[in-house]
Structure 1
């Protein structure tokens, strides 16, 4: 049984994949450079999501204006866990949220077809205080997944869900220190 709140992600011993959707110029420039470059903004919060399906729902399969390109951003687990250790839930203490470098919110996970499921996925907002760390220290690689995103979306629209699901990235529960997991509300039913 899936926990009510659980981080599910594509990860290995050293890295974790998070997803973001960008305007074409931001994605193209950054993928070409192999790191985030202008017009990517270091001056604002950037949200990273380890749930591919949730981002597909949010970006309408890379068709929402300003979100036409989907990137898989491989970052270090050390950076990911640092961000989580500095995070505050967006539903928590408003004063703490104002000064927090990282925000966490839980949103309904989505099926491949976009239906809300009865468990939640994490969204992590990296504030201006840590964006430089994300860009300069934590990011290992950027991969443009837009052609794969459009292929999966086309299969779903054609009613070929089983074939589409086989093309989704593999995500599994991400292990966290139990105290940090409790603080982030992970696992509660």
Structure 2
């Protein structure tokens, strides 16, 4: 697996414990987000390095998660039907920052939108939804810290699935190996190396 990992307990000791934060694996040029798919979609992506196979729908919203443990909570550590294949998807930071800039909250944010009508118009016009949810510990317990997920559709989803996707990382064997550790041996749990992601300021 082409993704560095580190002890979960060591990482958790330095992560913020509350507030809204984008925890992600990133470097100077790229960021990794996670999705979990049924085998037909996941295995095609691994073989071809893109997501636009015959079983992947570009006509519905697809949610990406920069935080590995949020993905594990959502997929039941790769055990939920239709989420058996866990992928790390490497994107250019410039594209991810563009996604963030386009994002409209899934619920009405009174600080950004004066009224619901203005917010609903923004939702209709944007290709990207943003949702902050409780982050979760490896055993699934909710945490005070909140994690982001981003829903993509339309042209943004099409670009994500093909030309903006730099690398598809098959993480299923890693997920299988780590799945027992939250309950049986938390000190042995390894997770992808993640830190707070800060978008590049523009303009």
TM-score range, shorter chain: 0.7 to 0.9
Separation (CA, whole Å) in 1 of partners of 2:55 and 2:83: 14
Q: Give the structure 2 partner of residue 114 of structure 1.
A: 140
| Secondary structure in 1 matching 2:162 | helix
Q: Give the structure 1 partner of residue 174 of structure 2.
A: 148
TM-score when normalising by structure 1: 0.88
Give the C-alpha shift of residue 136 in structure 1: 2.5
| Secondary structure in 2 matching 1:137 | coil
The answer to whether the Cα contact below 8 Å between 1:10 and 1:169 also exists between their aligned partners in 2 is: yes
| Secondary structure in 1 matching 2:89 | strand
Aligned length: 176
Q: Give the structure 1 partner of residue 195 of structure 2.
A: 172
Q: Give the structure 2 partner of residue 102 of structure 1.
A: 128
Alpha-carbon displacement from aligned partner over 1:76-95 (angstroms, at most 9, x marks no partner): 11110111111101112233
Structure 1 range deviating more: 34-43 or 105-114: 34-43
- Which 4+ runs in 1 deviate beyond 6 A? none
The answer to whether the Cα contact below 8 Å between 1:23 and 1:66 also exists between their aligned partners in 2 is: yes
Give the C-alpha shift of residue 3 in structure 1: 4.8
Matches within 5 A, 1:1-189: 1-36=16-51, 37-92=53-108, 93-157=119-183, 159-164=184-189, 167-176=190-199
Alpha-carbon displacement from aligned partner over 1:31-85 (angstroms, at most 9, x marks no partner): 0011112211122211100010001010001111110110000111111011111
| Secondary structure in 2 matching 1:108 | strand
CA 1:15–1:178 in 2, change beyond 3 Å: closer, same or farther? closer
What is the root-mean-square deviation of aligned Cα atoms in Å? 1.5
Q: Give the structure 1 partner of residue 111 of structure 2.
A: none
| Secondary structure in 1 matching 2:179 | helix
The answer to whether the Cα contact below 8 Å between 2:17 and 2:144 also exists between their aligned partners in 1 is: no
Unaligned runs of 5+ in 1: 180-189
Unaligned runs of 5+ in 2: 1-15, 109-118
TM-score when normalising by structure 2: 0.82
